[in-house]
Amino acid sequence: MNIKKLTVSMIRTAAVTIAAALLVFSAAMFLLPAKTVSADVGQPDIPVPALGDVHCASYCVYDKTTGYIVISMNPDDRIYPASMTKIMTCMLSLEYLDTAAKITVNASALADLDADSSLMGVLEGEKVKVSELLYGLMLPSGNDAANALGEGCIEAFFQKYPAGGSAVNKDGVNAQYLLDTLKDTQDHIVSSRKLEAFAVLMNLRADTLGCKGTHFVNACGLPDDNHYTTAYDLALIMAAASENPDFNTLISAPSHVFVATNRHKADAWSYVKNSNYLLYDPWLASKTANGTDSHLSAVIGGKTGTTSQAGKGLTIYTVNENGHELMISICGIPQEYYFYTTMYLASVTAYGNLACWESDPVTRVYGTTGDYKYVNAPASEQPQFDPLINPGDEPDGYDLTQLTPSPTPVPEQNEDGDSGDGNTAGTPLELFVKQNPVISGIIGGFMLLIIVLNIVLWVRINRIKHAAEIKAKKKAGKKKR
């Protein structure tokens, strides 16, 4: 065989083999993606709207510590409170009722609840613990729970503060006040007018608190032209309610699971969640629109309220880094802006807390919004240091200056750029090899085979060439002879 033709044939074979190997390797690289490819599901840093971009009828940030309004817009304008009414209902229920006692739900408590009513889900004749009704009142915003509690309060009021007796409630009255105001007998009020009587007690408490623009006609907040309040009055009512630790426990609960009753035979017959979304993500209010630290330390909790007539509203309780307690009410968010409700609340909260801090820039509450999160768990699993829910609570072994959580450590990378937790770093080729070891092994073996074949071809070509040279020399020697 001609040496030149053989050499060319071998070179062509090697070239084709190498090209095929490179083609297979390239196809594997592009058609078999590395396992580290994933969607970015992290939460981006979203700034709150500027105050001028908050669409609502009114808002008010009230400093309970000083007794002054920090910032506001139309704080005295009349608005419909919707379910924010239940802040007052909850406060009075905690005063008049034993949370461990049971209330029997009457038909009158379930009457006149329209199809749009938010409900806890209790039934006529159901015997329910007051504590369960309170969670049903504040988390799913049950109108049925509000009415059941209102009726229970009137029965308790007549028992604790009978007409003609010396005992009076916090407003300085006894049952005679109801008899005179409603111009009716006790028996008739208890049998037929308990919710009307409860509204009388609600209005009396509003007057005691200094509310000038408030009038209630029901316990739950159903629309009525004569059922109204203001952003400022709601802040005053929240400030008064926050004096009760049980109230703060209720509004800070992210969820609740209801226990069995005589009508709901199994535990966990309902699971409810808090509709105050700022409770879950208080960091949203940690900075203003331009990134300035608001010095908000904690969102304790609050109450939402929504009807087509009232729009959306929230009233919440927060704590500033300087220790001031701020009550924040935002009312009348139009329906077309419902999706922005939490961000609007976060904006008013951020700017209100910043204004509060600027008036008294002294750190008294250490840490950030992340340090004061409350979970719906058994008492044994709750945070042991809880100074905001339990004022005066002292940390055992804590350094107050070190309460801010440490940054999440960044995993150390080994020499190959691997963090050890499944994440990898390096060139696309390195990623492919690490994430596809079997295919890489096959391709590597194929490439090794090509190299061996080329070495064999090179040796054979050189041997044939050497043999040809010897043969040519011998032939040349014969001709000389």
Instruction: Choose among 321, 293, 453, 458: nearest CA to 388.
Output: 321
DSSP letter for each residue of 362-382 = ---S-S-GGG----S--GGGS
pLDDT in tens, 114-131: 877 899 999 999 999 999
Q: What 3-state class would DSSP assign to 319?
A: strand
Instruction: Choose among 110, 101, 22: nearest CA to 447.
Output: 22
How far is the C-alpha of 142 from the C-alpha of 219, rounded, in Å? 11
Contacts of 265 (CB under 8 A, 6+ apart): none
Positions in the chain short of pLDDT 70 = 1-42, 370-371, 373-438, 440, 472-481
Contacts of 225 (CB under 8 A, 6+ apart): none
Q: What torsion, rounded to 10 degrees, do the Cα atoms 93, 94, 100, 106 define?
A: 0
pLDDT of residue 70: 98
Bridge partners (DSSP) listed for residue 71: 61
pLDDT of residue 414: 42
Strand spans (E) along 98-163: 102-104, 127-129
pLDDT in tens, 90-115: 999 999 999 999 999 999 999 989 87
pLDDT of residue 115: 75
What residue spans define the domains of the chain? Answer: 3-26+426-480, 55-79+228-243+275-398, 81-226+258-270
Q: Look up the CATH number of domain 55-79+228-243+275-398.
A: 3.30.450
DSSP letter for each residue of 39-50 = ---PPP-PPPPP
Q: String of b and e for 187-197 (b: at least 16 CB within 10 Å)?
A: eebeeebbbbb
pLDDT of residue 423: 43
Give me the architecture of the 81-226+258-270 domain, per CATH.
Answer: 3-Layer(aba) Sandwich (3.40)
pLDDT of residue 379: 60
How far is the C-alpha of 241 from the C-alpha of 268, rounded, in Å? 28
pTM of the complete model: 0.74
- Orientation of helix 437-480 relative to helix 428-435, angle to 10°: 110
pLDDT of residue 436: 66
How far is the C-alpha of 105 from the C-alpha of 125, rounded, in Å? 5
| In the block, residue with structure tokens 């927060």 | 318
pLDDT of residue 22: 59
pLDDT of residue 464: 76
Q: What torsion, rounded to 10 degrees, do the Cα atoms 77, 81, 84, 86 define?
A: 120
